[in-house]
A and B are shown apart, each in its own frame.
Chain A
Amino acid sequence: MTAVSTAERRHGLGSRLAALARIVELGQGRLDPALVTDAAQLLLRAGDRLKLSSDHTVVALAGGTGSGKSSLFNAVSGLELSPIGVRRPTTARTHACVWGIDGAGPLLDWLQIQWRHRFARASALDKGESQLHGLILLDLPDHDSIRALTDHEAHRLIQTADLIVWVLDPQKYADASVHRRYVTELTGHDAVTVFVLNQSDRLTPEEQAECVADLEDLLRREGVADPRVVATSATTGKGVDSLKAVLAESVAARRAAYQRLEADLDRLVLRLVKDVPELLRVESTVDGARRAGLAEALCDAVGVSALGEALENVHAVRSADWVGWPYARWAARLRPDPLKSLRLGGVKDDIRGLVASSVTAQPAEVDNAVQALADGLTAGMPEVWRDGVREAARSRVDELPEALSEELAEVAPPLDRVPVWWWLLKIWQYLLVLMFVASLAWAGAILAYGVFKAGRPPAEVLGDVAVLPWVGLMMISVLGLGLFSAMASRNFVVLAAGKERDRLERDMRRRVGVLAQNMVVEPVERELNRYNEYFGAMAAARR
């Protein structure tokens, strides 16, 4: 560990823990629930521990039954505090010995050490143990006996203590119960883990050396980079001082609690990284191309261009009824109608009713459009977040078709709308027809009175044969004028319809874009932000 001041460390740890809290918050429902639980527990524990006395270092003597935890506890404390025995398992409750009682009470409460098992070396100074001031030594029950199967006190305190001293002995040092369950799990905790090979008096010096070497080897294989192994003998007292020295060092540094939490945090972050490996930053906004793509797809779902086309075509066709040359219309009526002959006259009304109907969106296509957006955005994202984005994109997809229909119904004109100028043109056409009829009558009168002398013309003009060519000319020009204005107005209709169509499509596209933004893009962007924030927090937690 580098020499960083406690305050700095605390600061670093604090911000990392804050980041972890953020991760827990953001990762809810995205991460493995067990991981979230563990993280929440770590946060809780860290919060508690950091609030409590930082002057004390909680050191736990852990190990299997019969390894001599209690003997070692007594040897270190110099008192017969914890009962030792030959029956296995001996210790059932945790015993604690405190060097320097001030402020240790709440810490012991938090550790749930029973009152009657607390001992204090309050005035230890007189014994020349000032260097141990601030030590809280715990003698844990074993973790590997049949009793431990139902009692998790040892497990709990191993997870909680600042510094763990694993008490091993020549018989049990390679037990799976220690190594598999704890040592491999505590990789990275080198700074807050000490291994003691107790009962070393049972071995010859050569055997002891072999044993220690083998143990160190084993520990290294399990990922403990730099194992601290101390050979002790609680019975002869050998090595106890070395252990005390190790403890004193940790206690004096007042860092074990932070180191422990940091190590726990490191481990948790490793697991988090493993759970959601790719630290890929994504754009937190949906780029223009995708937005346009979405809007385009939604327009297709509504059928905007088809609507425009229909508008144009239908207008063009319908306009014939209004602005067309009436004679052509009348001539067409004379042609036999297949529907009539089938007695299916109602179909025409149906068609008329059909074109009056409004705009709607196809739900399946809306679905697919939204899906395509989500898929495009999330390529390369971790699976869980991909699901998250997809869900966000779909959050309002059920309302979307309805909303689209409502929104667009406002702008889309009914296909059977009749502009005023159609009326005017129609009147104009009928006027022309009237004029034609009038001229026809005039010509008839001239023929009758002027040519066949059928009688006395009621008026001069009606009998003047010389006018006849003029009247004929007028008739032709009236017909021609009608035809010409029909053709011209038809062009106008087509032009207007084209314009109308452009306006309509533009308007619809704009509205679809707004809806897409509100109902799809925004939730997606929120999720993307969450994603980025999560990985930001991850980076912060990683330090």
Chain B
Amino acid sequence: MAQHPESPGEQTIAFRPIRDDEPAPELTSPHSGPGGRPSAGSAGFAVDATEAEPSHEDVPEAEDDPVRPAGPGRALQDAVAEETDGGPAAGDGEQDAPDADDSADAEGPADPSADPEDDPEGAEDADEHAEPAENPEHSTEHAEGTERAEHTERAEGTEHAADELDGDNPDGDELDGDRAGSFAMPEPVSAALTEALNQLRTAVKGLHFGLDVPGSDEARKAQAAVLAQLDDYVIPRVHMSTAPALIAVAGSTGAGKSTIVNSLAGGRVSATGVRRPTTSTPLIVCHPDNREWYARGDLLGGVERLAEPTRDATPDSVVLTSSPSLPRGIALLDTPDIDSVVEEHHEIAHRMLDAADLWVFVTTASRYADAPSWSLLRRAKERGARLVIVLSRVPPRSREVVVKHFGRMLHEYGLGEVERFVINETSVRDGRLPEIEIADLRMWLSALSVDDERRDAAVKATLNGVLNSFRTRLPALARHLETQVALRADLRSDVDAAYMGALARIDEATRDGSLLRGEVLARWQDFAGSGDLMRTLRLRRGGKGHSQGPERVRGLRAAVRAGLEALVNSAVQQATEEAVARWRQRAGAGDRLAATPGLGRPAEEIARRTTRTIAAWQDHVTELIRTEGVTKRSVAKLISFDVDSLSLIFMIGLLGYGATDAPAGAGAGALPQRLLRGLLGAESLRNISAKARSDLRARVGLLFDEETLRYVDVLDSAGIPDEAAATRLYQATYNLEVAR
């Protein structure tokens, strides 16, 4: 997050470091009741709670903005104070912005009074931080009442924040539970940022990668990682950047992470040994005063706290312990390895790293060229995490060569600037290194603990880096989702194309006369040649007008139906195979889905359904002839005819002699048409033909739709990627950028 001097017009996020080790000066905010603390508390919103201790930081930054000294009491939340530029101008519904400004003003006068007290420490801080200056703006003091109304919705969140604050209060005296909630204070974190993060979280959570395409496993992991990082780290951290810093110790198995943690903690807090991998449950060690804060768990909120490692600890747990040897304000996080055979460890380690403010990367003289180590370094670079590197187990003899070589490698990798510590290979006693080996590291830790500015900068840099990394990680997720959506569409259109092709084949076969072959032709010849055709026509005065050849009519009718059925069945078979073949050619997902049992062949009951469909069509045609086939008047006077037979003749004419190319000989092509035209009239015949044809098409289409459904079901069972989710994610990413 950019740390800009807080000009009202810019968006800034300010971090406020806490210094636990120093007694908190008493800063009373003028508005607040007697004594700074109460006031702090009064801001029901965590806002103030913190100030009491951290108050020194709040000291007004003379340099930046003398007018607005940091209000003595500001809460952690201010820590990440986000003022949307819009504040006054844009005012896109973020109520905070204006408030912040107001409050700042309000404080203005108040501050002076506070300042004097702070001065001694404040001065230093002021130098270090430009940012704190902003904090004042949200300052609790400003009209509690006014704000309240607006912030009520966020009240819950704020209280939460308040809790955190309490937790980290080393002194504990300020933590009067009652303070929380006693006043509704402005939410110090820009509502926009909170909103943006929540929106982002929802958007990320809403992603669903159902199809197994290349990269979808990675995408799912990345999604889980982003989600975990948001929950474990970003969202809590944004609300309380002054909280103690979490320093993750990470590296290869056997690199000595636990040994270093033990040495720094001055006791055997983490198990060490020759078995690899040694540590399986991550461990947080902090100063006893901070313990409660870590136990409460805003950072790594979803992770269970354990008192000590157990065998059956779930991957979502962390051991919390404390040691007085550690300075206040920081905690060490001992992580599992990143490269042992136990792959779950890698995931745990990565999750822990994602939630850490600083990374201590531990490698050894024999490992510093390992590929996994470098991939971790790459990750640190990508995430923008603040990093220090410890090269451990260096044989004193070769120390110079190794250190130089490693240094060069780091330099080539663009990590030359990173702070490095070297630890010689020595005997480990009781899981600890000799104090002298880790003196540098301890110094660095203490400095970090004492030096608020440095710690603050580090924490901020990491948080910033993480938010920056979202710029690439989130669009990558969205892009993957889009690939999934596209793939699904492709798979869908594969099926459609296959069945459209089948429909086209049927269409063609019913037009080019290829249906009038085999049995249909033979029966037709039988029907026509045996005189039944003529017998269907009866002169009116001739008598009854019923045909005598029901047997042959039935035979022909059955033959027509069988021919059509065969045509449809064969087309379905072909379409099924084609659809599966097309799916197979799609990488990954399609292949997997195509293997779904039963998909490679038509549905079992397809034959029955085809029979029904064709029979229904035949009935429909008979009905059409009956109702619409009104004979010409001149004909009707003379002739009556049998509707069943006539509709059969019609079907033969429609399907068998569709086109010019009649296989049965030139003369035959015209027979049914000529007859029907004579009976029904050309116009009427054309109408009925068109209707019958489109009806057949519609019925077969319906049949195919049912078949297609099987594929759609399979597709759906793999999960339906939501096209809007990608858009939402892009939007959320954009909003986050704006909110920052």
Contact = CB atoms under 8 A, between A and B. Distances in A.
A121 B351 CA distance: 53
Interface in B685-734: none
A347 B274 CA distance: 102
Interface stretch (B42-50, B290-298, B397-405): B397-405
Interface in A223-248: none
A146 B341 contact: no
Given A354-B665, A357-B525, A368 B674 contact: no
Contact of B570 (A174, A336, A368): A368
A332 to B, nearest CB: 11
Could you tell me the dominant secondary structure of chain B's interface residues?
Answer: helix
Interface in A301-350: 301-303, 306-307, 309-310, 313-314, 316-318, 336, 338-339, 341-344, 346-347, 349-350
**Max count, chain A CB within 10 A of own CB: residue among B341, B524, B555:** B341
B519 interface: yes
A87 B401 contact: yes
Given A303-B519, A316-B530, A351-B534, 19 more contacts: A67-B366, A88-B366, A88-B370, A88-B405, A144-B372, A146-B374, A177-B339, A301-B518, A303-B522, A310-B525, A310-B526, A310-B529, A341-B539, A353-B665, A354-B664, A354-B667, A355-B525, A364-B566, A364-B570
A64 B514 CA distance: 71
B376 to A, nearest CB: 12
A339 B542 CA distance: 13
Contacts of A316: 530
A371 B573 CA distance: 9
Contacts of B402: 86-87
B84 interface: no
A342 B529 contact: no
A428 B522 CA distance: 33
Contacts of A307: 522
Contacts of B274: 170, 203, 207, 210-211, 214
Contacts, number: 253
A317 B663 contact: no
Interface of B: 252-255, 273-277, 339-343, 346, 364-372, 374, 393, 395, 398, 401-402, 405, 509, 514-515, 517-526, 528-531, 533-534, 537-539, 542, 552, 555, 559, 562-563, 566-567, 569-571, 573-574, 600-601, 635, 638-639, 663-668, 670-671, 674-675, 678-679
Interface in A150-193: 169-177, 179-180
A179 B525 contact: no
Contacts of B255: 171
Contacts of B514: 362-363
A367 interface: yes
A307 B529 CA distance: 12
Contacts of B523: 303, 306, 310
9 contacts: A149-B371, A174-B340, A175-B252, A176-B340, A338-B638, A344-B674, A364-B567, A365-B570, A371-B573
B398 A86 contact: yes
B638 A341 contact: yes
Kindly state the interface size class of chain A when it binds its partner. 35 or more
A364 B509 contact: yes
Contacts of B566: 301, 362, 364-365, 367-368
Contacts of B601: 375
A519 interface: no
A65 B529 contact: no
B671 A89 contact: no
A460 B523 CA distance: 61
A204 B515 CA distance: 89
A271 interface: no
**Max count, chain A CB within 10 A of own CB: residue among B393, B562, B574:** B562
Contacts of A146: 369-371, 374
B517 A211 contact: no
A218 B520 contact: no
A401 B569 CA distance: 17
Interface of A: 64-67, 85-89, 144-149, 169-177, 179-180, 203, 207, 210-211, 214, 218, 222, 300-303, 306-307, 309-310, 313-314, 316-318, 336, 338-339, 341-344, 346-347, 349-351, 353-357, 359-365, 367-368, 371, 375, 383, 401, 405, 415
A145 B559 CA distance: 74
Nearest to B530: A313
Contact of B366 (A65, A179, A346, A353): A65
A367 B514 CA distance: 14
A363 B514 CA distance: 8
Nearest to A173: B276
B663 A360 contact: yes
A356 B537 contact: no
Contacts of B517: 360-363, 401, 405
A314 B664 contact: no
A314 B529 contact: yes
Contacts of A350: 667-668, 670-671, 674
B573 A367 contact: yes
**Max count, chain B CB within 10 A of own CB: residue among A179, A342, A356, A359:** A342
B528 A346 contact: no
A177 B371 CA distance: 9
Contacts of B665: 353-354, 356-357
A85 B365 CA distance: 11
Given A176-B339, A341-B539, A354 B525 contact: yes
Contacts of B531: 317
Given A176-B340, A353-B665, A357-B525, A89 B369 contact: yes
A179 B569 CA distance: 53
Contacts of B555: 306, 309
B401 A179 contact: no
B530 A170 contact: no
Given A342-B638, A364-B566, A177 B372 contact: yes
A342 B678 contact: yes
Contact of A88 (B367, B573, B635): B367
A360 B674 contact: no
